[in-house]
Structure 1
Amino acid sequence: MTAATYRVVHTDPSDGTIREDLTAVDGISFTETLNAEGAATVTVPLYAPEANPATLYPNGSGIAILRDEVPVWGGILRTLSADLNAGTLTLNSTGYHSYYKGRVWTGGYNSAGPRDQADLLASFIEGSWGGGIGTDTSRLTSSGRRRTRQWTKYEFKIVADAIEELAEDEGGFNFRYEPYWDAGRIAHRIIKSDLGGAPLPFSLVHLKNCDVTKVDYDGSNMATHTYAVGADVGNGSKLVGIAENAELAAVMPIKRVVATFQDLKETEELIGKAGALLNIGRAPVAIPTLTVYPGLYSPADFIPGDSGVVQVDSGYVALYDDFVITERKTDVNANGGETITLSLANRELFVNGQSS
């Protein structure tokens, strides 16, 4: 595989119009994180012509990264760091989802009865179009799973939180934001996919096509009983959803997990949340981190949410299981050389109990 050519552009965050190229880029690093905003860091010379504080500034500038002229990452510039000794300016951006952390329903929200997950997600986004970033929702597809959501204007519900909570429901989904060319600008859309994702067409084998640098094992979320506590019903009591894993309780001491969802007002919704917590807590989580051997694959081969076999045989670490990619980090040096690092988690966490 020949070295890719990277290009970084400064955009108008409201519509993706390209303002100018960032020339003489010294380093690029970008991360796409499952169901989150991700981040990018770009370093340019401090005295580059485009390093103009009148036009390039936090929250008023967008950044898009292109690989062989294909947009692979996009977001909003949040902070800058000028190193006068080194003569560099580092631009730190967060992905499009971070925008929705700053949008709040000041007038409340009411789904007016059960609606398909995709319709709810689209309404969350489309209700934020005014003065927003124009996220395209046309690729959202129906799931057949219907949900209800309601918040009063006094709750000041954050849109990003509403999106994440909808995705985390039992029988939920993964989401990501995808930049693309549209009439000479860098537009972007939100994509919803099934839990577990699409399968990779290859296995990731330690010391064959990747280096598995570490594997963390985490039992903190394991649970024999889960409780999802909801809104106060007005007399001092609260709604609660409960789930139990009798099989796990037979092989380990009782471990209860309690989570609060104070803006949920339906018992059925809380039972779904309790079920989702129970699915997460069925077994310890194995979290491999690996670096793909250079020249074999491109970043586009590893979409967060997709899954594949990871194989390791190194003492305590004996893995031959399906794992979901939870984060992909790409570092690009001055010569265009890429280093792709993946973080993964057990696929069972994402596919257990996909009820409607």
Structure 2
Amino acid sequence: MPEYRVIVAEFTSGDVWGELLPIDLSYSSEIKAKRSATVKIPLTGFDWSVLRPWRSLLYIQRGAQVTWGGPLVGSSLDLENETVELHCLGLWEYYRRRQITYDANFVQRDQGSIVQSLIQDFADGTGQYQWNTGPRALIFDGMATGVLRDRTYRAYERKAVGQVVEDLSGVRDGFDFRIDHWWSGNRIVNCMRLGPPSGIPTDLVLEHGVTCDIPRITVDGTNMATEAVVTGGGEAENQLTGWWYNLPAETDPSRRIPRLSAVQSRQDVILPSTLTAYAQQVIAEGSTPVVIPEVRLYPDSSPGPGDVLPGYQARVRARAGGRLVLDGDYMITGMTVRAADGGEDTTVSLVPGEVLERVGSAASP
């Protein structure tokens, strides 16, 4: 198994303070930079002056690759076994705790540029408002998406920067995003990158019995929908509403089903086009039953946790009873890793590629 290291750095300066000896660790990574980690260390290795919530950043390094990073937010002491369990969240959680405190107006700006401006101005302390302090923890790469948006955020709304970015990413033609970490000299760099909502194409193949184990495949139609209604700003008869339909799913004799409605509320949205984009996304995600394979990577083999990243596309195949039971394109939405007792266990979460495709129309009911 590759060697694991846990690096400690100061959040506000980025200075690396030292290294912890982990007894047991686990971490998870999901699309849109959602992450968490737990690290167990000996009690004798716990320095109260350094390991304080929101003061310390912990990075998990697997071999030569930094695979996880985020702030320490809590700890649990086990006096009987003389160990300490450190609880961490992904770095993005900090940006969900910062607010837009000044009016911000964007007209026909690339959505990636909007994201970068909001983070720099109101969360990271590297933008145009010098009084708005932040840890100056992020650099940005690949932020241009080619999709222009109009957006206005008012200070009195007190919206969280992270939530605004997540909302912007969730509309049709939105984006996925992640934060990567790597060594640069004696410091670790945190880099935010945007990617297409359908995932980044790769030649990765996850095949049962060859590159991974697929013990179970489930089919879930719980969230299927052929009619999406998204309500926005306003009240009663003046409330804005976006509609989207998947009429072929209701009328095609080879696959027709009765109408299934899904309703969302987006009270802060005042643009009809934005409501329609949300409704399109609901229909796309609910266009088909979701076939979900349970994937476990083989330990000490390729692909490993450093190769299978949230936001990557992969081909997934499985044979059973002498026939092919699964062969499709998927996007990796999450990964959970546990390293303990000299072993490593990695599970991968996926979503079928077809739920990310545009389907349906704005036809009237």
Alignment TM-score, normalising by the size of structure 1: 0.91
| Partner SS for 1:63 | strand
Report the equivalent of 1:45: 42
Residues 12-161 of structure 1: pairs in structure 2 closer than 5 A: 12-23=10-21, 25-48=22-45, 51-111=46-106, 113-127=107-121, 128-130=123-125, 131-161=133-163
Whole-angstrom CA distance in 1 between matches of 2:191 and 2:273: 31
Report the equivalent of 1:9: 7
- Inter-CA distance 268–196: structure 2 relative to 1 (3 Å threshold): closer
1:279 aligns with 2:288: no
| Partner SS for 1:132 | coil
* Moved >6 Å (runs of 4+): none
- Inter-CA distance 69–308: structure 2 relative to 1 (3 Å threshold): closer
Deviation, 1:317, is 9.5
Whole-angstrom CA distance in 2 between matches of 1:200 and 1:140: 17
Deviation, 1:246, is 0.5
Report the equivalent of 2:274: 269
Deviation, 1:352, is 3.2
Deviation, 1:259, is 0.6
Whole-angstrom CA distance in 2 between matches of 1:117 and 1:190: 14
Which ranges of structure 1 fall in alignment gaps of 5 or more residues? Answer: none
C-alpha contact (below 8 Å) 1:71/1:180 kept by paired residues: yes
Aligned residue type for 1:245: N
Report the equivalent of 1:325: 332
Report the equivalent of 1:340: 346
Deviation, 1:116, is 0.6
1:299 aligns with 2:300: no
Deviation, 1:136, is 3.0
Bigger shift: residues 197-206 or 89-98: 197-206
- Aligned residue pairs total 347
C-alpha contact (below 8 Å) 2:70/2:89 kept by paired residues: yes
Bigger shift: residues 192-201 or 324-333: 192-201
Deviation, 1:178, is 0.5
Aligned residue type for 1:7: R
Aligned residue type for 2:294: T
Aligned residue type for 1:76: P
| Partner SS for 2:279 | helix
C-alpha contact (below 8 Å) 1:172/1:354 kept by paired residues: no
Which ranges of structure 2 fall in alignment gaps of 5 or more residues? Answer: 126-132
Whole-angstrom CA distance in 1 between matches of 2:360 and 2:347: 29
Bigger shift: residues 205-214 or 274-283: 205-214
1:216 aligns with 2:223: no
Report the equivalent of 2:248: 247
C-alpha contact (below 8 Å) 2:294/2:347 kept by paired residues: yes
Report the equivalent of 1:168: 170
Deviation, 1:42, is 0.8
Aligned residue type for 2:75: L
Provide, for residues 88-111 of structure 1, a one-character-per-residue CA deviation record: whole Å limited to 9, x for no partner: 101111111111121111334322
Provide, for residues 122-176 of structure 1, a one-character-per-residue CA deviation record: whole Å limited to 9, x for no partner: 1121121223232434303322211122232222111111111111110111110
Bigger shift: residues 262-271 or 236-245: 236-245
Aligned residue type for 1:172: G
C-alpha contact (below 8 Å) 1:151/1:263 kept by paired residues: no
C-alpha contact (below 8 Å) 1:135/1:190 kept by paired residues: no
- Inter-CA distance 354–249: structure 2 relative to 1 (3 Å threshold): closer
Provide, for residues 60-112 of structure 1, a one-character-per-residue CA deviation record: whole Å limited to 9, x for no partner: 2110111224322110111111111111101111111111121111334322x
| Partner SS for 1:329 | strand
| Partner SS for 1:178 | strand
Alpha-carbon RMSD across the aligned residues, in angstroms, is 2.2
Aligned residue type for 1:313: R
Whole-angstrom CA distance in 2 between matches of 1:99 and 1:261: 24
| Partner SS for 1:231 | coil
Report the equivalent of 1:308: 314
C-alpha contact (below 8 Å) 1:216/1:288 kept by paired residues: yes
C-alpha contact (below 8 Å) 1:125/1:137 kept by paired residues: no
Q: Once the two structures are aligned, what percentage of the paired residues are identical?
A: 29
C-alpha contact (below 8 Å) 1:228/1:274 kept by paired residues: yes
Whole-angstrom CA distance in 1 between matches of 2:38 and 2:104: 35
Deviation, 1:188, is 0.1
Whole-angstrom CA distance in 1 between matches of 2:357 and 2:249: 18
- Inter-CA distance 353–253: structure 2 relative to 1 (3 Å threshold): closer
